[in-house]
Amino acid sequence: MSKLLLKGGRLIDPERRKEEIGDLLIVDGKIEQVGGSISPSDASVIDISGLIVAPGFIDMHVHLRQPGQEHKETIATGTTAAMRGGFTTVLAMANTSPPIDSPRIMREVVEIIRRDALVNVLQMGTITVGMRGKRNVDFEAMIEAGAAGFSEDGKSVMNSRLMLEALRASSEMEFLISDHCEDGNLSKGGLVNEGEVARRLGVRGISHLAEEVILARDLMLAEETKGRLHVAHVSTKRSVEMIREAKARGINVTAEVTPHHLTLTQKAVLEMGADAKMNPPLRDRGDVEALIEGLRDGTIDAIATDHAPHTPQEKSLSLEEAPFGVIGLETCFPVLYTELVLKGKLDLMDLIAALTINPARILGLERKGRLKKGADGELVLLDLNREMVIDPENFASKGRNTPFAGMKVKGVPMMVIIGDEIHTLLFPLSVVSMANCPPSTAQPSLERLTFQRSTF
Ligand code: DOR
Ligand code: ZN
């Protein structure tokens, strides 16, 4: 029997929206007791006073690039990046090479996950065969092979009949569809948001309508079919309004927003170039404010990074040639704590809920994202006083494509616990202030930045 006792942490339970200073006991990988003073005789004890204890974060939108694009990321490197960011569960998209569109490929990926993943990985399948939009995959066989849900992420299913049938199947078989909303005819040739920055750069823009037209369609299809629609990376004000109205009408819809859409506008492209190029693009200040408001009032349920690694070579091409996408796993919490919580735009409780209990509910993970007896012993420990500068050279991800390079942030994941494993995260990012570090964690060398693991 393994027993781990965390002493004196600030326990945050996003399910009951409660916070207290106290102890937490994990027995054989499950949470046994939360709160108060606990003192079993035979437990391994870690004194964590000064640290936040939250359920391990859940990211419902990442790209791990396996199979076929291992030069961009692998399940091993992507899940190491996840752990560094405090994530204990991720949902991987299916736009790999080849796309994950058959039970055979799904089984292969599940096997790689079993072998290589450092955190829990749930794997999506595509909605259409080859992501070609001509016919739907065999949903039932894919689920049997291990699909956690379906998504055509990277583009939309433009054929409304196929989307209708997919949503009907999602209602009958009770699976989730994560919906990348983009009318490919409206967005074609666009590189950044349609507006001032596109004009200034003399490039084609992507209109907010490209997202909203498909969102409107899919909300109607979801209402008709009672399908389980989840809207991926919401980026516009009007989208937030449409989801708010849809929820009020009782449509079974949930939504996510990314850290970059919550904190940056299209202007970032002028400074960061292709490192701020992603799809959907960064929008206007008014959109950013509406997204934050949507998160605050529950219209948007989850924060998901859309971690989309590409090689430094690919991202150093011109704005036109570089692929869409930015990474986000290792910067998510520090960026959002600094930019939203410390600036008074979002409560810490709401931030943590959007990274834990809310995605757990959407994904039907009843024992994750919670801090209570019987839940999985998957936790993140955070130091809210620790400061650092984001340095992509220290990322565990193979990607370096972040718009947050050089940003000074506060609030760092320090430790991740998964079952009976304690993972010490020795700061992927260079440390500015050592004021709050215990002496044993002095300035880390690059070697020491590698992920460490100890089992008790
Ligand atoms: O920016 C993006 N990158 N948006 C997507 O929809 C796909 C993703 C990728 O796979 O690189
Ligand atoms: Zn994506």
Q: Is 289 helix (H, G, I), strand (E, B) or coil?
A: helix
Our mutation pick for probing the ligand 1 site, out of 179, 234, 324, counting the most ligand atoms within 8 A of Cβ, is: 324
Tell me, what's the pLDDT at 424?
84
Tell me, what's the pLDDT at 222?
98
Q: What's the CA gap between 276 and 403, in Å, rounded? A: 5
- Asked if residues 320 and 327 have their Cβ atoms less than 8 Å apart, the reply is no
Tell me, what's the pLDDT at 42?
87
- Asked if residues 412 and 386 have their Cβ atoms less than 8 Å apart, the reply is yes
CA 198 centroid distance within chain: 28
The DSSP-derived string for 97-154 is: SS-S-SHHHHHHHHHHHHHH-SSEEEEEE-SBGGG-SSSB--HHHHHHHTEEEEE-TT
Instruction: Determine the distance separating the centroid of ligand 2 and the alpha carbon of 41, expressed in angstroms.
Output: 47
**C-alpha distances out from residue 394 to 90, 324, 342, 429, Å:** 21, 22, 25, 6
Instruction: Determine the distance separating the centroid of ligand 1 and the alpha carbon of 81, expressed in angstroms.
Output: 18
| Cis amide linkage into residue 14, ω under 30° from 0 | no
Q: What's the CA gap between 62 and 58, in Å, rounded? A: 10
Q: What's the CA gap between 369 and 375, in Å, rounded? A: 8
- Asked if residues 218 and 179 have their Cβ atoms less than 8 Å apart, the reply is yes
Tell me, what's the pLDDT at 425?
84
Residue at 294: amino acid letter: G
- Residue nearest ligand 1's atom 4 by CA: 279
- Asked if residues 158 and 181 have their Cβ atoms less than 8 Å apart, the reply is no
Our mutation pick for probing the ligand 1 site, out of 95, 97, 124, 181, counting the most ligand atoms within 8 A of Cβ, is: 95
DSSP 179: E
- Of 376, 367, 452, 448, residue with least CA distance to 419: 376
- Asked if residues 409 and 67 have their Cβ atoms less than 8 Å apart, the reply is no
Tell me, what's the pLDDT at 304?
99
Our mutation pick for probing the ligand 1 site, out of 61, 62, 63, counting the most ligand atoms within 8 A of Cβ, is: 63
Tell me, what's the pLDDT at 422?
87
At residue 13, φ and ψ (nearest 5 deg) are: -110, 100
Residues with CB under 6 A from ligand 1: 63, 95, 153-154, 180, 278-279, 308, 323-325
Neighbours of ion ligand 2 (CB under 5 A): 153, 306
Residue at 87: amino acid letter: F
Tell me, what's the pLDDT at 439?
34
Lay out the sheet containing 228-231: strands in order across.
Answer: 57-62, 87-92, 120-125, 147-151, 176-179, 228-231, 253-257, 302-303
Q: What's the CA gap between 379 and 381, in Å, rounded? A: 7
Dihedral class, residue 23 (left if φ above 0, else alpha if ψ from -120 to 50, else beta): beta
- Asked if residues 88 and 418 have their Cβ atoms less than 8 Å apart, the reply is yes
Tell me, what's the pLDDT at 1?
82
- Catalytic residue numbers read 306
Q: What's the CA gap between 121 and 223, in Å, rounded? A: 30
Sign of CA dihedral 227, 228, 231, 237: positive
DSSP 275: G
Tell me, what's the pLDDT at 280?
98
At residue 164, φ and ψ (nearest 5 deg) are: -60, -45
Tell me, what's the pLDDT at 191?
98
Q: Is 228 helix (H, G, I), strand (E, B) or coil?
A: strand
Which residue reads 């340095």 in tokens? 391
**C-alpha distances out from residue 434 to 120, 405, 437, 440, Å:** 32, 20, 5, 11
Q: Which residues pair with 53 in a beta bridge?
A: 11, 381
- Of 73, 48, 49, residue with least CA distance to 62: 73
- Asked if residues 411 and 333 have their Cβ atoms less than 8 Å apart, the reply is yes
Q: What's the CA gap between 322 and 311, in Å, rounded? A: 10
Residues of the chain with pLDDT under 50: 427-456
What lies within 8 Å, CB to CB, of 130 at 6+ separation is 98, 99, 101
Nearest ligand to residue 324 Cα = 1
DSSP 339: I
Beta strands in 313-377 (DSSP E): none
